[in-house]
Amino acid sequence: MPELPEVESVRRTLAPAMVGRRIDAVELRRPDLRAPFPKGFARRLAGQTVVALTRRAKYLLASLSSGDTLLMHLGMSGAFRVIGTAGRGPGEAAAGSDPHDHVLFHLDSGATVVFNDPRRFGVMDLLTPGELEEHPSVGGLGPEPLSDEFDDTALARACAGKRTSLKAALLDQRVVAGLGNIYVVEALHLAGLAPHRRASTIATPGGAPRDAASRLTAAIKQVLGKAIDRQTAANDRSDRFRVYDREGQRCLRRGCSGIIRRRTQAGRSSFYCPVCQR
């Protein structure tokens, strides 16, 4: 499933094509994705201008001139492509040519934004301002990990008194929004903290940040930032991870002799170095 860096890369790709453009028509090739499209979905979108395209956790939010917000989630296999105004480039599929092209946004520029989703776990919803604030997917989210709001103080406060593992706390979307399994284990390795360590240990009894909270906050921002840059540069090398999916291999931390281990936490694989992660 796409994680935050992949979703942010999609946002950066779509924004130049969509922001400031009017949606002339929406073509639905089926009545649903993971759930049925809202009543009047295509009709309500037609004629609206995309004012902004932002991201909240792993959701894309297109703010419309009507005041409504188009909420989109890629699911497990969803992907967008933009068919430009100057015709298709070499190897570029025509809009709607793939049987998994389920939603087509026809823009006033002549471009078409196509949503393709073979497994149909994606989500599209159209929300009024009041509905957006209370939507179960985004209403209770914690701070964005790349925002100024997310710092060692905020993380320590959220983890203070928690008896759960540090990894489980970071995957709790109320603690920090948008982090997934891969980048949590990567950040924990960079910070030198074990995924099974108790979350409360990064804070004092009063909820102030310890050094571990500062290291972890910085590591999360660094890992996500590099991953977004890598996605933007279309550089998807298999050696991009420090620990994820590297069970049995040498730790990449300079001077560390550890061998990466894997353990299961809440049904998910955690990869870590038993030597340098404490």
Point out the residues that are catalytic: 2-3, 58, 268
Cα separation, 114 vs 103, whole angstroms: 6
Please, which residues bridge with residue 101 across strands?
A: 116
Please, which residues bridge with residue 22 across strands?
A: 49
- Do 57 and 138 meet the contact criterion of CB atoms below 8 Å apart? yes
Torsion of CA 88, 90, 91, 94, to 10 degrees: 10
Q: Using CB atoms within 10 Å of the CB of residue 239, give its burial: 0 to 12 exposed, 13 to 18 middle, 19+ buried.
A: exposed
Cα separation, 254 vs 118, whole angstroms: 42
Distances from the Cα of 263 to the Cαs of 54, 269, 270, 275, in angstroms?
35, 6, 5, 15
Cβ-based neighbours of 188, under 8 Å, separated by 6 or more: 166, 167, 170, 194, 195, 216, 219, 272, 277
Task: For residue 203, give the amino acid letter.
Answer: A
Between CA 86 and CA 94, with CA 89 as vertex, the angle to 5 degrees is 85
